[in-house]
A and B are shown apart, each in its own frame.
Chain A
Amino acid sequence: MALLQTSPSHPLDGSIAEWVWLLPLLPLLGAVMNGIIAVRAGTFAATVADSDDHDHATPPAGRGLVSLIGPGVMLLAFALAVALFLAMRGAGDLAAPFIRSLGSWMPAGDLRIDWALQLDPLSMLMTLIITGVGFLIHVFSVGYMADDRGFARYFAYLNLFVAMMLVLVLGASYPVMFVGWEGVGLASYLLIGFWFRERANADAGRKAFIVNRIGDFGFLVAMFLVYAQTGALDYVQAHAGLAVAAPGVLTAIALFLFVGCTGKSAQIPLYVWLPDAMAGPTPVSALIHAATMVTAGVYLIARASAVFAGAPSVSLLVTVVGAVTALFAATIALRQWDIKKVLAYSTVSQLGYMFVGVGTGAYAAGVFHLVTHAFFKALLFLGAGAVIHAMHAAYHHAHDHTADAQDMRNMGGLGRYMPRTSALMWIATLAIAGVPPLAGFFSKDEILTSAFARAHNSPLAEASLLGVPGSAVLYGVYGLGLLTALLTAVYMTRLMLLTFTGANRTGATAASALHEAPALMGVPLAVLGVLTVVGGWLNLPSLIPIGPAHLLADWLAPVTGTATRVLAGDAHLSHTAEYALIGTAIATAGIGIAIAFARYRSPVPTKAEAPAEQGVASLLHEAYRVDAGLDRVVVRPLAWLSTSVLWRGIDRALESLFVQGSRAIARAAGAAHDWVGGGDVGRYAWAFTIGLLVMLAAFTVR
């Protein structure tokens, strides 16, 4: 890294890019300031006395200042990111990354790890998404959390999250990325359990943390392997070293990196934490558990594309896991009643799509879907947040504290009360369903097309996974992807129909208080709506002549171009085939929406009146009972092991050994001393005599 610092010139030298260190620092500063306000307000110290998180009578302490600092630092960071982006656009040749070290972190022998930040097209893109979408969600949060006692604490955590996320994407080496990786995990844990007075929320936070731990282990092992192989951990040197590594080593590294990805990005088998993560405030779900943090795995694979390009079999595995996860989560989403649960499983499913993209080596396509998904899923979550906000207010008005404000069976007909939110969410729904010309259509189509195209004449098609030839695998993945697209259209339309159309099911008193979200929440929604519409223009296929093609792919070429070319091989699709694929995708979306309209227009009973679900429906509703299964197979045996063996067995045994044992030794020593010096003169005399005789014997007997 030291070598690179002195390397003669980069087009960005001396430009505004020198201020890159300010990017993570701004939100970190916000986190510290909001944290101080929160500590002074005493919202960290929760007591049983103030058990109600919401207090409508008095505004939370420091609200004015916090609403200025929280979104303020985000706006500054976003402005800086835009300035950096413009500088990069104007800089010309970006083949080499722009790296700035902030100081040495771990100098150990030959290994030198710096606090170094790296600007390149990929990290720049991620930074724009994080700060841009992040800013909108911060603004939305000011409205959403307005009556929450933990207002300052909330923004401290949210700012901390953004700071860590920026460290994750801007870090110039795996260890620095790992710091961000763990930091966002911490922020995620804190925000999932934000309303920690309810045990379920705190448990959900811990679940997220523990499940992620498994993935982090994979990341760490991968890092150790990279170091063992190349002796360096910064991207430039490590990837250069890995370019000449043996295929077996690359496979191992890619595999362990992917384990890390499945944890952070909620893929099978480590997806279980994400649906539970919805326990946090809804804007948190939008920012962390939809738009940014969960896409870190996709980012990691794109970042390590050099590694994955050298391990086609692992790339195939990534693709398969992505496709299976996508379908699996989509089927569950079909039968969820909680509006946020539908979106959560939808997120898992869409992340699966992204992995299909980066797995097939279409890194730009995967990242493209990451970007469009950030737009439309953030919009959907924030829209759901506006709905839940309205439902809460309505039930509060009706003095109903038992009804579930997130259950779609309790909603219905909200479109009449919230026309703007409804319209914007319809846009996002059509986008995620894959209706052209919205953002989701282009990104999803590109992913499916690349999976289909690479089934022939590419290293992926020639590789194999567990004996199955890559070609067959990729056709299978394409089929799964298409089926998932159909289900996506069905469950999203179902969500919209249940929530916004039909008869209102909140009850008359509550319905009178239903209202459109305030402007503070409405404006971010509108901005995201615009992005959802135009986001597709970032990376148009050359087939559709409505704008410049492949903008994003060209932009990312310095980072992922080589790997993309390696994995694509000679794969090629005729124009006819491409038109056919696009036609199929559009037809799939249309059929899905039509199915939903046919099935979910009939009135549904409210949650309280609904009968228990039967058969397949209940299986899907309970998410294939994976949680129950995990509880039986993993959690309970572990709990048993901990209590019965480790605690009652080993801990107690050690306790007896050391605590009781030292007591016994002291007792025995006391007794011995008592016998020796107990004051019995007769005994002294005996001891004296015997001692004398022994001495005599020692001197005389030979």
Chain B
Amino acid sequence: MMLADALIVSAILFSIGVVGVLTRRNAIMLFMCVELMLNAVNLSFVTFAKLHGVSGHVFVILVMTIAAAEAAVGLAIVISVFRHFGAVDLPSLKLLRR
């Protein structure tokens, strides 16, 4: 029972993240939604670690590390984008177009 509940929470969290990524226009909000998705995945890892042993925990540590690095790099980009364009609004950043 415990397991199913945890997985449902994880799925809900992941879906919120996905919807956020699809609908939000602000780059910072996008980042936060991505973090949300990562953490939803982490939750499933931890849940399954109860069944399959310690490797799930190892993955969670790895994902958190990567997520931290990604956030650092991503935020740095966002800051320079903001400096360059004066906004972090995604639809306005369409230099490839025409």
- The interface of chain A, by Cβ under 8 A from chain B, is 674, 677-682, 685-686, 689
For the complex, count residues of B whose C-beta is within 8 A of A. 12
Known: A680-B91, A681-B90. A686 touches B22 (CB 8 A): yes
| Contact A678 B90, CB 8 Å, known A685-B21, A685-B22, A686-B22 | no
State whether A682 touches B90 (Cβ < 8 A).
Answer: yes
Contact in complex: A680, B22 (CB < 8 Å) = no
Render B77-98 as a binary contact track against A, CB cut-off 8 A, 1 for contact.
Answer: 0000000000000110111111
Report the Cα distance A678→B22, complex, angstroms: 17
Question: Which chain A residues border B63 with CB–CB below 8 Å?
Answer: none
**Cβ contacts under 8 Å, B93 to chain A:** 679, 681
User: Which residues of B lie under 8 Å from residue A679 when comparing CB positions?
Assistant: 93-97
Q: B73 to chain A: closest CB distance in Å?
A: 17
Cβ-closest chain B residue relative to A675: B97
Spell out B's residues near A (CB within 8 Å). 18, 21-22, 25, 90-91, 93-98
Distance A413 CA – B91 CA, assembled complex (angstroms): 102
A685 and B21 CA atoms in complex are apart in Å by 7
Residues of B within 8 Å of A682, CB to CB, are 22, 25, 90-91
CB distance from B66 to the nearest CB of A (A): 19
Contacts of A677 in B (CB 8 A): 96
CB neighbours (8 Å) of A680 from chain B are 91, 94, 97
Taking A679-B95, A679-B97 as given, write out 19 further A-B residue pairs in contact, using a Cβ cutoff of 8 Å, ordered by the A residue number.
A674-B98, A678-B94, A678-B96, A678-B97, A679-B93, A679-B94, A679-B96, A680-B94, A680-B97, A681-B90, A682-B22, A682-B25, A682-B90, A682-B91, A685-B21, A685-B22, A686-B22, A689-B18, A689-B22
Interface residue SS majority, chain A: helix
In the complex, what residues of A have CB within 8 A of residue B94's CB?
A: 678-680
- Do most interface residues of chain B lie in helix, strand or loop, or is the interface mixed? loop
Q: Which 6 A-B pairs have the closest CB atoms?
A: A679-B96, A679-B94, A678-B97, A679-B97, A681-B90, A685-B21
A693 nearest in chain B by CB position:
B18
Q: Which residues on B sit within 8 Å (CB–CB) of A686?
A: 22
20 contacts between A and B (CB under 8 A): A674-B98, A677-B96, A678-B94, A678-B96, A678-B97, A679-B93, A679-B94, A679-B96, A679-B97, A680-B94, A681-B93, A682-B22, A682-B25, A682-B90, A682-B91, A685-B21, A685-B22, A686-B22, A689-B18, A689-B21
Residue of A nearest to B96 (CB): A679
CA distance A136 to B93 in the complex (A): 92
Q: How far is the CA of A686 from the CA of B94 in the complex (A)?
A: 16
- Alpha-carbon gap, A661 to B91, bound state (A): 34
Expressed in whole angstroms, the minimum distance between the Cβ of A628 and any Cβ of chain B is 63
Report how far A686 CA is from B21 CA in the complex, Å.
Answer: 9
Would you give the shortest CB distance from A686 to chain B, in whole angstroms?
Answer: 6
Q: In the bound complex, what is the Cα–Cα distance between A509 and B70 (angstroms)? A: 112
B19 to chain A: closest residue by CB: A689
Task: Say how far B30's CB is from chain A's closest CB, in angstroms.
Answer: 8
A residues less than 8 Å from B97 (CB atoms): 674, 678-680
Residues of B within 8 A of A689 (CB): 18, 21-22
A685 and B19 CA atoms in complex are apart in Å by 10
- Complex Cα gap A689–B17 (Å): 12
Contacts of B18 in A (CB 8 A): 689
Contacts of B96 in A (CB 8 A): 677-679
| Residues of chain B with a CB closer than 8 A to A678's CB | 94, 96-97
Provide the bound-state CA to CA distance between A222 and B41, in Å.
89
Distance of A667 from chain B, by nearest CB (Å): 14
Bound Cα distance from A679 to B90, whole angstroms: 10
In chain A, what residue has the closest Cβ to B18?
A689
Q: Nearest chain B CB to A696's CB is how many angstroms away?
A: 12
Q: What residues of B have a CB within 8 angstroms of the CB of A674 in the complex?
A: 97-98
- CB neighbours (8 Å) of A685 from chain B are 21-22
Give Cα distance in the complex from A681 to B91, angstroms. 7
- Chain B residue at smallest Cβ distance from A677: B96
